[in-house]
Structure 1
Amino acid sequence: MARPRKPLLSRDRIVAAASALVDAEGLDAVSTRRLAAELGVSGPSLYNHFRTKDDILEAVADAVSTQVDLSMFDPADERDWPTALHDWAVSYRAALKAHPNIVPVFARGPGRRPAGLRIADAVFGAMVRAGWPPAQATHIGALMRYFITGSALASFAGGFVDDESAYDPADYPHLGRAHLLAEHRQQVDEGAFDTGLGAIIDGLASRYAATVRT
């Protein structure tokens, strides 16, 4: 029998299958047994490419990281650092929003993930080129990761139920319209992200003007 032209298994096939499972069912759905069944191979064959389930999830997270736009941090790009930081944050959150179930892996940091490390390197390098001291550039990178991943971990508005009786005015005098939040989940969550991002950028710009330029 002729050998197949393409190998039955590859890292890319495993990552694609794992990504689909994570998107559809969450992190707990991923197991070597489940992936082997999805791919039509034996379980042990996965270990030729990944040692553990965590390694697979790290690869899924790294694949999502490649969707983040870093062009604004290219030295040839003419955007100033506040605009670049803003545009990158929007792109980063969009990637996480498209794959919300993988966000807890992102929250652990880039680890050894190549694409994740390229993000950290690009942000740090751009801030240093803009004149921020290295320590402050590190703080900015950490701050942005906290904010972006935190905003993608869960929905604030989705945390409220749509039952008006759950918010008795006697107990919660200021939550009379809280039952409407879930209905306007996207509007509330997007507005919160835009407000927070704007506040962070404005605050950093003020600090830059007061300390870095002096």
Structure 2
Amino acid sequence: MPRPKRPLITRDAIMRTALRLVDEHGPAALSTNRIAAELGVKGPSLYNHVSGRGEIIDGLRELLTADMDLDAAGLRPWTAACDRMARSYRASFAAHPRVVPLLISQPIQSPLVLAAYERVFAVLREAGWPEDDLMPMVRAMEYLAIGSVLDLATGTPEETERAFDIGLSAFIAGLERQLAERPG
């Protein structure tokens, strides 16, 4: 049987279906066969669009990144940009908390997501942070946001929100102090 002239599925449809499955059924629901069945095709059809589970996880990360306010990187001072970006990151992940375990299961490969990191790095470089501090700073901000998202599932939303606000404020104030105390 020849291939259809127009693809029955797209990479975007695969990712959105995967996101819906994980949102509804948890990380264990992420399988190429299940996604294919949801899309009404056979499992191998997905491999015309994605290389496998790892690429699907990166695609989920891209969907969440697309929901973030990356324009916040244009805010000044850098502390305002970091505050807005951390809140946006948290909001995007909080909308899909069941995806978080998948995202932390593998390193980032997506050029789109890496470009988003670069926007944050550019803000920090401009503020005077040395290159060696950029990734650890961003990762620490992510840990705070991800921890807060995971707490949303077990804690009370108001308390979790307050804890995130306090933690983020303290984190940024601490970084601001560190930068001010740097020689040179």
Deviations 1:59-89 (A, max 9, x none): 1121111111111213xx4x20111100110
State the SS of the aligned residue for 1:48. Answer: coil
CA RMSD of aligned residues (A): 2.1
Shift, 1:138, TM fit: 2.8
> Match of 1:192, as an amino acid?
A
Rg larger in 1 or in 2? Answer: 1
* Residue among 112, 116, 121 paired with 1:119: 116
Partner residue of 1:203? 174
Partner residue of 1:8? 8
Equivalences for residues 50-199 of structure 1 within 5 A:
50-74=50-74, 77=75, 79-108=76-105, 111-155=108-152, 158=154, 185-199=156-170
State the SS of the aligned residue for 1:154. Answer: helix
Deviations 1:3-57 (A, max 9, x none): 9785211111111111110111111112122112111111111111122223212
> Match of 2:61, as an amino acid?
A
Q: How many residues align?
A: 182
State the SS of the aligned residue for 1:8. Answer: coil
> Match of 2:165, as an amino acid?
D
- Maintained 8 Å contact 1:104/1:153: no
Shift, 1:132, TM fit: 1.1
Deviations 1:139-179 (A, max 9, x none): 211211222222223338x2xxxxxxxxxxxxxxxxxxxxx
Deviates more, 1:5-14 or 1:30-39: 5-14
- Maintained 8 Å contact 2:32/2:46: yes
Shift, 1:110, TM fit: 5.3
In the superposition, relative to structure 1, how do residues 119 and 110 fare at CA in structure 2: closer, same or farther (>3 Å)? farther
Between the aligned partners of 1:39 and 1:99, the Cα distance in structure 2 is 21
Between the aligned partners of 1:5 and 1:189, the Cα distance in structure 2 is 51
Partner residue of 1:173? none
Q: Unmatched 5+ residue regions in structure 1?
A: 159-181
Task: Check if 1:23 corresponds to 2:23.
Answer: yes
- TM-score, normalisation: structure 2: 0.89
In the superposition, relative to structure 1, how do residues 60 and 28 fare at CA in structure 2: closer, same or farther (>3 Å)? same
Shift, 1:108, TM fit: 4.5
Higher relative contact order (CA 8 A, sep 6+): 2
Deviations 1:166-208 (A, max 9, x none): xxxxxxxxxxxxxxxx5xx001110110010011011111111
Q: Unmatched 5+ residue regions in structure 2?
A: none
